[in-house]
């Protein structure tokens, strides 16, 4: 069953996700770092390091949001980084951040849907996605589009929440994710649903080996899953 942010609305998942991120965009960065105690920053760094070996010159950051993963990818010294997202609110916050940090000439943020990417085949050396794939309306279509725009030999790096499996992290995490995080998230973001949708969408996401098998089916080679911090997040990689 599809997990929706706003269960009482009739619009589809894509529209609801875009609306939700528009709503929480002013507080997104703060809540991200606060609720994860800053671990999300370390996770992004670790994920980007996995691209070092291919020294990508062109990088596409899908579901870029406010651009943090795209910014982290600059450590690889690429020639071109493009970030796409369906939430104008998130992109707006991202553009202001880039301007403030004088990075707006190195990263371009544009409106774009992961399931219908506005790019030619084989265009990018690397595709990166952080905490985006869980929100796609049609996951398989989004992954197929990544494969299409990646050049042969190029690498995909996907960072996403996963479900810790071992005692006592599983229990601690479930308590935090279900009880503490939604209350803080709701109070600060003023969106009643966004931080309830977060644990629900993680729960229903096909993580670990199931996700790896989806990449395999699409044709990605040398696919891998690397769990981070007791399995709270995972990095998935594959080569075209
Ligand atoms: C949790 S945020 C992650 C933002 C950023 N990548 C980060 O690491 O902080 C998820 C983002 O995915 C975007 N998104 C969801 N579905 C999308 C789609 N079909 N195409 C493009 N972006 C999408 C949302 O608008 C949102 O900005």
How do residues 106-159 score in pLDDT, each as one tens digit? 999 999 999 999 999 999 999 999 999 999 999 999 999 999 999 999 999 999
64 known member of a binding site? no
Establish whether residue 63 lines the binding site of ligand 1, counting it when its CB lies within 6 angstroms of any ligand atom.
yes
Establish whether residue 13 lines the binding site of ligand 1, counting it when its CB lies within 6 angstroms of any ligand atom.
no
Helix (H) or strand (E) holding 175: helix 169-175
Q: Which residue from 4, 18, 128, 135 has its CB within 8 A of the most atoms of ligand 1, so it is best to mutate?
A: 135
3-state secondary structure of 196: helix
Cα–Cα distances in angstroms (integers) from residue 216 to residues 41, 128, 147, 149, 152, in the given order:
28, 17, 11, 17, 15
Q: What is the pTM of this model?
A: 0.96
Q: How far apart are CA 206 and CA 181, in angstroms?
A: 22
66 known member of a binding site? yes
Q: State the number of CA atoms in the 13 A half-sphere of 215 facing the CB.
A: 25
Establish whether residue 23 lines the binding site of ligand 1, counting it when its CB lies within 6 angstroms of any ligand atom.
no
Quote the pLDDT of residue 121. 98
Whole-number percent of the chain with pLDDT over 70: 100
87 Cα to the center of ligand 1, angstroms:
7
Do residues 157 and 32 make contact, with C-beta atoms less than 8 angstroms apart?
no
Q: How far apart are CA 188 and CA 216, in angstroms?
A: 40
189 known member of a binding site? no
Q: How far apart are CA 155 and CA 128, in angstroms?
A: 9
Cα–Cα distances in angstroms (integers) from residue 169 to residues 46, 107, 153, 166, 176, in the given order:
21, 37, 37, 6, 10
The closest-lying atom of ligand 1 relative to the alpha carbon of residue 44 is: 8
Quote the pLDDT of residue 12. 92
Quote the pLDDT of residue 151. 98
Do residues 62 and 132 make contact, with C-beta atoms less than 8 angstroms apart?
yes
Mean pLDDT is highest, among 8-22, 177-191, 207-221, for 207-221
The residue among 98 and 197 whose pLDDT is bigger is: 98
């Amino acid at each position: 069953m599809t997990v929706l942010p706003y269960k009482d609305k009739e619009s589809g998942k894509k529209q609801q996700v875009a609306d939700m991120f528009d709503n929480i965009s002013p507080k997104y960065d703060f809540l991200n770092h606060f609720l994860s105690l800053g671990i999300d920053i370390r996770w992004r760094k670790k994920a980007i390091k996995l691209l070092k070996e291919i020294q990508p010159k062109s990088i596409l950051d899908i579901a870029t949001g406010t651009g943090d993963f795209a910014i982290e990818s600059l450590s690889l010294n690429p020639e071109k980084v493009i970030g796409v997202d369906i939430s104008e609110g998130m992109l707006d916050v991202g553009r202001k951040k880039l301007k403030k940090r004088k990075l707006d000439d190195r990263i371009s943020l544009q409106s774009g849907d992961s399931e219908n990417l506005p790019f030619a085949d084989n265009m990018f050396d690397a595709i990166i996605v952080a905490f985006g794939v869980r929100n796609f309306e049609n996951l398989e279509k989004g992954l197929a589009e990544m494969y299409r725009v990646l050049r042969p030999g190029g690498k995909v790096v996907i960072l996403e929440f996963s479900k810790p499996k071992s005692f006592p992290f599983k229990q601690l995490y479930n308590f935090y994710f279900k009880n503490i995080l939604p209350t803080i998230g709701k109070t600060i973001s003023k969106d009643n649903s966004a931080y309830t949708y977060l644990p629900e969408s993680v729960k229903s996401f096909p993580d670990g080996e199931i996700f790896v098998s989806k990449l395999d089916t699409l044709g990605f080679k040398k696919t891998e899953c690397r769990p981070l911090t007791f399995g709270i997040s995972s990095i998935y990689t594959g080569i075209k």
